[in-house]
């Protein structure tokens, strides 16, 4: 009888379930695009072709760091209604916050360079278009998409791009023999082979990217959760983590697949990849023309989608200097986007070695990253900024330890370079 009464009852409270999580998927996947951009391709294929599976642990470590940091910066956007750039200008001394934000603008140029360059390399693979012309075409296409589409449309397009890229690598992995036991061990056991430090740093810089921290806070705060009351904030904080965790794991799988493909295809044949076009050309005789074409198409999608998010991040960072949110119709956001993409495009015309340019761009990001991370953690650990949603002491300690790890790795890199 009680069961029948319950069935007739129409006033059951709604409890969010597995499928409700999909309503919150979007911001994380938008950020994931930066996690699988052409700079990652260059770093991962260099790592896999030269050191086999040995550097898979860097992707795992970077992903753990990324989940913690992206989750934390999303909290800043949800609770305060400010992006990281706006919060830095509002809550930190002028001599602290503004220089870090300006350095982030410079880092966004390095990011955009890698994204545009990757798309141009893909166009050269597919259609034989020169790198400068391809870079110009990618930039024009991205500017059109950015200035004619809303967040929601871009989110849907990016989700489609990420899905295609992921399926492409699943197909590629079916064509090669992977030693899964050795790969699993290498994914969790750190090792630093002789001469691999530059690659380790470029992989780290390619995964944990400063512009993504700014972008995630921007996209999440655009939903204005902070204006909808405490219950809505707590609700969003809970399900934001599901979005971040899912999205970052997708990125981890795709990045790991790149290293696995390079290790199983190039490393086993004694071939060191120092050019993505070379990697594409070598895939054809080893795995067939389909593998080569799919590789190039996936790279093109990665280049276009990551340039979109890079442009959005640049617009957000620059407009935050003027205490404004990202808005494609606002002059500050427009200047930020054009500045980042325009300077990056100009630099590409003077790059002699595109692949090396990708690697170095990722190292530049890793050098700026500690400043952004320390800024972010200081804000989310401040009760003045976050109120009752401030970081717990253990979380603050953990996040500062991540910032410390990044800093130590950078000092290690600089000392090694000077030695």
> Who's near 106: CB < 8 A, 6+ residues apart?
368
> Who's near 292: CB < 8 A, 6+ residues apart?
125, 280, 281, 283, 284
Class of domain 47-418 (CATH, top level): mainly alpha
Least confident of 305-309, 397-401, 409-413: 409-413
pLDDT of 341: 95
DSSP state of 394: H
Longest CA pairwise span in the chain (Å):
81
Give per-residue pLDDT as tens, 286-343: 555 667 778 788 888 888 888 888 898 899 999 988 888 888 788 888 999 999 999 9
Q: What is the pTM of this model?
A: 0.80
Both structure tokens of 33: 């695009």
pLDDT of 301: 84
Q: Where does the pLDDT of residue 1 fall: very low under 50, low under 70, confident under 90, or very high at 90 and above?
A: very low
* Of 41 and 185, more confident: 185
Q: CA-based Rg of the chain, rounded to a whole angstrom?
A: 21
Instruction: Output the CA–CA distances (angstroms, integers) from residue 156 to 65, 91, 152, 367, in the order listed.
Output: 26, 33, 6, 32
pLDDT of 20: 42
Give per-residue pLDDT as tens, 150-200: 556 666 777 777 777 777 877 777 778 888 999 999 999 988 888 887 788
Would the CA dihedral through 195, 200, 203, 204 be positive or negative?
A: negative
pLDDT at 276 over 70: no
């Amino acid at each position: 009888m009680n069961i029948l009464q319950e069935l007739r009852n129409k006033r059951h409270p709604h409890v969010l379930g597995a499928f409700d999580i999909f309503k919150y998927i979007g911001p994380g996947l938008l950020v994931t695009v930066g996690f699988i951009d052409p700079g990652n391709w260059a770093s991962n294929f260099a790592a896999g072709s030269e050191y086999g599976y040995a550097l898979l642990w860097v992707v795992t470590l970077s992903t753990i760091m990324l989940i913690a940091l992206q989750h934390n910066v999303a909290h800043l956007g949800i609770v305060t209604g400010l992006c990281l750039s706006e919060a830095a200008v509002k809550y930190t001394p002028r001599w602290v916050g503004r220089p870090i934000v300006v350095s982030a603008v410079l880092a966004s140029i390095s990011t955009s360079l890698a994204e545009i360059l990757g798309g141009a390399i893909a166009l050269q693979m597919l259609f034989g278009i020169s790198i400068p012309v391809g870079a110009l075409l990618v930039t024009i296409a991205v500017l059109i998409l950015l200035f004619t589409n809303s967040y929601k449309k871009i989110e849907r397009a990016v989700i489609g791009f990420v899905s295609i890229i992921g399926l492409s690598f699943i197909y590629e992995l079916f064509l090669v023999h992977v030693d899964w036991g050795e790969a699993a061990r290498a994914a969790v056991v750190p090792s630093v082979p002789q001469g691999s430090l530059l690659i380790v740093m470029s992989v780290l810089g390619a995964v944990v990217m400063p512009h993504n921290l700014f972008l995630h806070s921007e996209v999440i705060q655009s939903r204005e959760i902070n204006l909808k009351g405490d219950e809505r904030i707590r609700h969003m904080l809970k399900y934001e983590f599901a979005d971040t965790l899912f999205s970052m794991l997708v990125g981890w799988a795709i990045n790991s697949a790149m290293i696995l493909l390079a290790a199983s295809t190039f490393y086993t044949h004694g071939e060191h990849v120092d050019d993505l076009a070379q990697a594409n050309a070598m895939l054809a005789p080893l795995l067939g023309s389909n593998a080569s074409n799919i590789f190039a198409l996936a790279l093109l999608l990665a280049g276009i989608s990551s340039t979109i998010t890079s442009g959005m991040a640049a617009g957000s960072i620059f407009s935050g200097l003027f205490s404004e949110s990202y808005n494609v119709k606002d002059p500050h956001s427009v200047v930020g986007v054009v500045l980042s993409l325009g300077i990056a495009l100009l630099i590409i015309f003077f790059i002699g070695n595109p692949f090396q340019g990708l690697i170095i761009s990722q190292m530049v990001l890793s050098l700026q990253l500690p400043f952004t991370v320390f800024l972010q953690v200081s804000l989310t650990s401040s009760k003045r900024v976050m109120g009752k949603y401030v970081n717990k002491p253990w979380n603050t300690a953990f996040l500062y330890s991540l910032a410390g790890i990044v800093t130590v790795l950078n000092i290690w890199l600089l000392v090694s370079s000077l030695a």
